[in-house]
Structure 1
């Protein structure tokens, strides 16, 4: 953020405000961690803040401080529309286009509030009055930490805020292994631990609470893996029938796509997951090195994200979707093999 943006935000927050805080649809650890952390902070500063998620989020995140007070737009439609309509400020976190909030987009587009965007994805839209966008950041949670610092309030961070921010940084950096993890990220994490973040407990709550059905689903996913050695690529597919067979719950497939990248020489990993209710295949793309899955997703699958992590979708059936994906690889062979 530049000086003018910081001063403008300080002015907006100088008096008590009605505030809505919104993550993207299907929120992950960074989205929930950043929105809850910001909500705790703004509440401590005397504002009336609410987190409104477009839909539900995974059970392994529901231990987080304040998670039980998150409004679900799908489930609390009338109440959440009222909060949005009456909000004076709306913070949108971990996304940069209203297309990422599903059916909630219309309510946001019609709101009269001033918008503050905090996000680290590429190519942000221009809907916000104040935009804090930095694609080099490890996570939106690290940006929320910085935002609190810009307000001169790092001393306000307590154990609850620290746990929320730590969770988002840890999950969005792959437990601190991704390229966007900087020395400054580690300094932020160290300060969060000093302020009460319980790193061991957070890791256990996120990664060590699997159900037997989730592990069986992982086994199914790995059995379905196809390796295309010619393109240093691996992909996984899961149909709705397979998800139902293993009693799929929201969040169960989190991280499955990354298994492809654990294979020697694989530089591009993809997972195709059927969502029969929406009539689409949701697609997650991951890469190592300089191969941009953000560009790949934007160019071919109505998506986007980061250089090494992005998402997309296909409205075709599984066979057509995979055939289309494979047909694209020859034009990227040089980038994937050199």
Structure 2
């Protein structure tokens, strides 16, 4: 840990421009680690130009915004990619135009695309790693409430509000330390959980149209006509992946949304490793939370069968 943190910080010190990326379809940890790192580095190096780039997610706008960066800035820039296991999933592929590329992540190391790759699969989130880096350099006194808010939300997001089994005593210790900073954590948590009222009829659809078998496997299939019926964008539908999570005896579930060019499948489980199946179908992720895209519903059926066979 210490060696990689030192190498990362040495690179930051050597470069006047730093551009921070994250993965496509960003979640709270992608936002929290990226924007938290940006804010931390801005406070530590006020004379450097520190940018954050990538596609936005409307439901997470309350966490912060990204920057518009000209192509020519990449020529002499240090690029840091947060929370992204493999290069094709990096939001804004200009990352490869940087003078140097570093990776900070907690997903299994399937693609080491950086000159320095810091990957800690034991961390609950990349936001947790960013805080570990801050403490490594004894910089708790220079960070502010905004850094704390961002990292706290990133940790909350990837631990499912501390309900997932990636929550460790270290995770809880960091959360406690972050809560010492002056931000309204209840407001932040409420903002993370809130959904637009127009989306809630779709939640009713999900609750009435999941398929659950006796083994504890469930699937939800959202077709294009359902999206049109409820006037939803695919990313809005994906917000409801855990709608059925509280079903008794549920062990594995897949939430599939037809996004037009492909079908995005979000896979979740309760203590059963499923990222091996995701990898077999060209996806990946965590042992209990993974994702994969398939070309059609026939391929989805093959995925569903493979997941059910885990039981």
| TM-score in terms of structure 2 length | 0.92
1:9 match: secondary structure? helix
The CA deviation string for residues 173-192 of structure 1, in whole angstroms up to 9 with x for no partner, is: 11111111111111111111
Structure 1: gaps of 5 or more residues: none
Query: 226, 229, 251: which is aligned to 1:245?
Result: 229
**What does 1:114-125 align with in structure 2 at a 5 Å threshold?**
114-125=100-111
Q: CA deviation at 1:154?
A: 1.7
1:39 match: secondary structure? helix
User: Aligned in 2, Cα 1:8/1:101: closer, same or farther, shift over 3 Å?
Assistant: closer
Query: 147, 157, 165: which is aligned to 2:151?
Result: 165
User: Match for residue 240 of structure 2?
Assistant: 256
User: Match for residue 275 of structure 1?
Assistant: 259
Q: CA deviation at 1:211?
A: 1.7
The CA deviation string for residues 13-54 of structure 1, in whole angstroms up to 9 with x for no partner, is: 33552011001001111101111111111111222111111x
Q: CA deviation at 1:324?
A: 1.7
Q: Please give the alpha-carbon distance, in whole angstroms, between the structure 2 residues aligned to 1:306 and 1:189.
A: 21
Q: CA deviation at 1:82?
A: 3.2
- CA root-mean-square deviation: 1.9
User: Aligned in 2, Cα 1:321/1:15: closer, same or farther, shift over 3 Å?
Assistant: closer
Does 2:276 correspond to 1:287?
Answer: no
1:14 match: secondary structure? helix
Q: Please give the alpha-carbon distance, in whole angstroms, between the structure 1 residues aligned to 2:84 and 2:307.
A: 28
Q: CA deviation at 1:88?
A: 2.4
Q: CA deviation at 1:262?
A: 1.4
2:241 match: secondary structure? helix
Q: Is the 8 A contact 2:234 2:259 kept in 1?
A: no
User: Match for residue 49 of structure 1?
Assistant: 50
User: Aligned in 2, Cα 1:60/1:89: closer, same or farther, shift over 3 Å?
Assistant: same
Q: Hey, which bits of structure 1, 4+ residues long, moved more than 4 A?
A: none
Q: Please give the alpha-carbon distance, in whole angstroms, between the structure 1 residues aligned to 2:308 and 2:170.
A: 39
User: Match for residue 81 of structure 1?
Assistant: 71
User: Match for residue 131 of structure 2?
Assistant: 145
Structure 2: gaps of 5 or more residues: none
Query: 95, 98, 106: which is aligned to 1:108?
Result: 95
